[in-house]
């Protein structure tokens, strides 16, 4: 075959792969625009909370003679319109955004990193597919994502930050959720931003790499890998996993200052949908 045609064929294949990868990436971003929507019919679990608490009946289990929802979905509650006005983000020119932790959701998904940590599989599980919103749980701040979206906060994903770290420079304030698994470019972009609200403990804990064409992430360092003594993969001075990650009741929650922002001292995903003061504080920080 003529070498010219070989080169043209190779270029054509590269273009096809690039376009396919880009379209998949764009579609994945679209999947995170409405985290609280569901393809199944939801039923109200309670109307007494600040936001309507809804469940998929298929996600409710019986435990100790009690019904327990495995996953919650939220919507605005008409009884609290005046309260929402106090906690919605200001639109007076100040730019605030929160980060959807797609990479962390992927690490926790079935056949992901935690299968390896639990000794259920070998290191092959340390490379796993990037998931969509249907695989999000509280480990990836699912409740908080919904609440902040319902209030009107602007949203970006960690994928966007990894591909364009300078995107954070557009915003005066960045709200970071449970971004436990991040790339080095993300870590640098976040730690160099002047105003980050670290809303979840255990953020910036382990370093990953991303292969967008294969739609995969791989663990590089952290969480006891590749050596058992390595905890924070970035050796980050503001590491705050222990003991704050395990305080899910958040009874005595408070923010404390660090070099480039503030950190919350507990895990807020189980209280944020019914805690006006916390949401008002996030707005005013």
Per-residue pLDDT tens for 116-125?
A: 999 999 999 9
Give the helix/strand (H/E) hosting 149.
helix 142-151
Question: Sign of the CA dihedral 13, 18, 24, 27?
Answer: negative
Residue 103 lies in a domain: yes
45 found inside a domain: no
Considering the domain boundaries, does residue 81 fall inside one? Answer: yes
Rounded to two decimals, the pTM is 0.85
85 inside domain: yes
**Structure-token pair, residue 100:** 């959807």
Structure tokens at 167: 């995107």
* Residue 27 scores a pLDDT above 70: no
Give a yes or no: residue 264 inside a domain.
Answer: yes
Round to whole Å and give the CA distance between 83 and 46.
18
44-74: pLDDT as tens digits = 767 789 999 888 777 766 766 777 677 889 9
Under DSSP, the state recorded for 136 is -
- Does the residue 71 lie in any domain? no
Note the pLDDT tens digit of each residue in 136-188: 888 899 999 999 999 999 999 999 999 999 999 999 999 999 999 999 999 99
Q: What share of the chain is helix, strand, coil (3-state, %, to 5)?
A: 40, 20, 40
Query: What's the pLDDT at 141?
Result: 93
Q: Which residue has the higher pLDDT, 109 or 36?
A: 109
pLDDT greater than 70 at residue 108: yes
Establish if 67 belongs to a structural domain.
Answer: no
How many structural domains are present in the chain? 1
What pLDDT sits at residue 272? 96
Nearest to 265 by CA among 200, 216, 173, 186: 200
Phi, psi of 258 (to 5 degrees): -130, -170
Domain that holds residue 224: 77-284
Provide, rounded to the nearest whole percent, the portion of the chain with pLDDT above 70: 82
Residue 13 in domain: no
- Using DSSP bridges, classify how beta strands 261-264 and 196-198 pair: parallel, antiparallel or unpaired: parallel
Phi, then psi, of 46 in degrees rounded to 5: -155, 150
């Amino acid at each position: 075959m003529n070498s010219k045609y070989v080169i043209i064929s190779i270029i054509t294949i590269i273009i096809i792969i690039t376009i396919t990868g880009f379209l998949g990436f764009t579609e994945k971003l679209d999947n995170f625009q409405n985290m609280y929507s569901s393809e199944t019919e939801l039923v109200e679990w309670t109307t007494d909370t600040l936001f309507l608490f809804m469940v998929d009946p298929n996600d409710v289990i019986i435990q100790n003679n009690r019904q327990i929802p495995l996953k919650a979905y939220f919507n605005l509650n008409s009884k609290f319109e005046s309260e929402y006005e106090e906690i919605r983000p200001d639109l007076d020119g100040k730019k605030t955004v929160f980060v959807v932790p797609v990479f962390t959701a992927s690490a926790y998904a079935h056949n992901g990193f935690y299968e390896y940590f639990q000794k259920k599989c070998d290191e092959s599980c340390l490379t796993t597919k990037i998931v969509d919103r249907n695989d999000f749980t509280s480990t990836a701040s699912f409740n908080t994502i919904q609440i902040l979206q319902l209030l009107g906060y602007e949203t970006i994903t960690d994928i966007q930050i990894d591909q364009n770290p300078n995107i954070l420079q557009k915003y005066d304030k960045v709200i970071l959720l449970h971004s436990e698994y991040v790339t080095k470019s993300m870590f640098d972009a976040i730690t160099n931003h002047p105003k980050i609200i670290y809303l979840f403990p255990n953020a910036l804990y382990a370093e990953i790499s991303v292969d967008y064409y294969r739609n995969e992430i791989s663990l590089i360092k952290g969480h006891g890998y590749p050596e058992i003594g390595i905890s924070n993969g970035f050796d980050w001075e503001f590491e705050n996993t222990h003991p704050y990650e395990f305080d899910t009741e958040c009874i005595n929650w408070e923010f404390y200052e660090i070099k480039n922002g503030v950190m919350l001292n507990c895990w807020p995903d189980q209280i944020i949908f019914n805690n006006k003061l916390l949401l008002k504080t996030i707005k005013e920080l």
